[in-house]
Amino acid sequence: MPQNEWIVLMVMGGVFILLGIGAIMWGRGEEKGYYNRLTSRSDVREFIEHEPQWPQFGALKIGGRIAIAIGLVLIVIGGIVLLRG
C-alpha cells in the first residue's frame, strides 16, 4: 500500500477519537441536564437514588470509549506501517 493510504488511515483514527470525545461529552451533558431538571421537582427520589437507570446516557459514553479505542488502534497501525514501510 502506498504511504498516502496509511496517512488516510491515521486521519480516520483521529476522526474516530474526536467523535468519541464528542459522544462522551454529549452523554455527560445529557445526563447532567436530566438530573438538573429533576432537582426542580418536588419529588426528587429518582434524583437521589438514580433509579430507574436511563440507558441512553451510558450508551453515549460507552460508544465514545469504543470510538476512541478504534481511533487509537487505527493511528497505531498506521504509524507502525508508515515507519516500517
C-beta atoms surrounding 74 within 10 Å: 21
SS3 call for 37: helix
5-61 pLDDT, tens digit per residue, is 788 888 999 999 999 999 999 988 888 887 777 666 666 666 566 666 666 778 888
* Rg of the chain taking only CA atoms, in angstroms: 19
Domain limits for position 39: 3-84
Q: How many domains does the chain have?
A: 1
Residue with cell 418536588: 42
The confidence score (pLDDT) of residue 23 equals 92
What is the rounded distance in angstroms from the CA atom of residue 41 to the CA atom of residue 38?
5
